[in-house]
Amino acid sequence: MNSCLSMKRYIHVIVGIICMATLTTLSGCRRWGMCKDETLPVTKQTYSGNQLRLDGFYYGDPGTDYKGVTRYNIFVLYANGVVCFPGCTELSNLEPYVSSLADGVALRSSKSCWGAFQIQDTTLSIGGWQPSNCSYPSVCYSGTIVNDTTFILTKTETRSGDMNGTKETNITYNFRHFTAKPDSTNDYVQ
């Protein structure tokens, strides 16, 4: 009986050491150079066209969050080729939400809030990063411009090391005029 308890204690210690070593390795992967962020999949270019309006923001088809609240994803496009992904909110709260971010401070230090876009004729490409446990995988949304206030994203490509994926989508984004846009200054897209 005594050797059985001793063996159980030994197994618990070994499992504990393995768990601690695993947690230490996972939490320090960036520090040890094991995690590398993907490069931005779209090159920033100054936009001076008239295919899309830039004096406001675009909000996408509604989605439901984990609490059952209907929210709309937001994209803010700038003439310098930068795009901001400030998050999502309820339809009735779009303007106050974007206005609350107007100084850009809350977004500036978050890599997943920034990216770049390009327009070729009626094709729109938007690139950015997605947060993850170790690094920032890149994401590229592409689609078609319907008119200067509407675009439809039809494809999402994600790159993360050897794990790449493409997903067909059909998400319509509509324009809302709004002058209090967040500042496009950030630490990631220059």
- Name the pairing type of β-strands 123-129 and 138-147: antiparallel
Would you say residue 43 lies in a domain? no
Would you say residue 47 lies in a domain? no
Q: Does 25 share its domain with 68?
A: no
pLDDT for res 130: 82
Nearest Cα residue to 139 out of 38, 13, 2 = 38
Q: Does 73 share its domain with 4?
A: no
Would you say residue 134 lies in a domain? yes
Nearest Cα residue to 72 out of 41, 47, 97 = 97
Q: Does 5 share its domain with 63?
A: no
Would you say residue 78 lies in a domain? yes
Would you say residue 87 lies in a domain? yes
* Mean local confidence (pLDDT), 57-70: 93
Would you say residue 186 lies in a domain? no
Q: Does 60 share its domain with 17?
A: no
Q: Look up the domain containing 12 and give its range.
A: 1-34
pLDDT for res 4: 54
pTM: 0.79
- pLDDT tens, position by position, 178-187: 988 887 888 8
DSSP 62-90: EEE-TTS-EEEEEEEE-TTSEEEEEEEE-
Q: How many domains does the chain have?
A: 2
Q: Does 7 share its domain with 67?
A: no
Q: Are 84 and 98 in contact (CB under 8 A)?
A: no
Average pLDDT, whole number, for the chain?
Answer: 84
Please determine, for residue 110, whether its predicted confidence score (pLDDT) is greater than 60: yes
Q: Does 15 share its domain with 65?
A: no
Q: Does 19 share its domain with 108?
A: no
Query: Higher-confidence residue: 125 or 31?
Result: 125
Distance of CA 187 to the CA centre of its chain: 15
Region of residue 18 (left: phi > 0; alpha: psi -120 to 50; beta: else): alpha
* Distance of alpha carbon 15 from alpha carbon 44, whole angstroms: 49
> Can you count the helices (H) and strands (E) in the chain?
3, 8
- pLDDT tens, position by position, 32-57: 556 778 888 888 999 999 999 999 99
Would you say residue 187 lies in a domain? no
Q: Does 89 share its domain with 163?
A: yes
Would you say residue 154 lies in a domain? yes
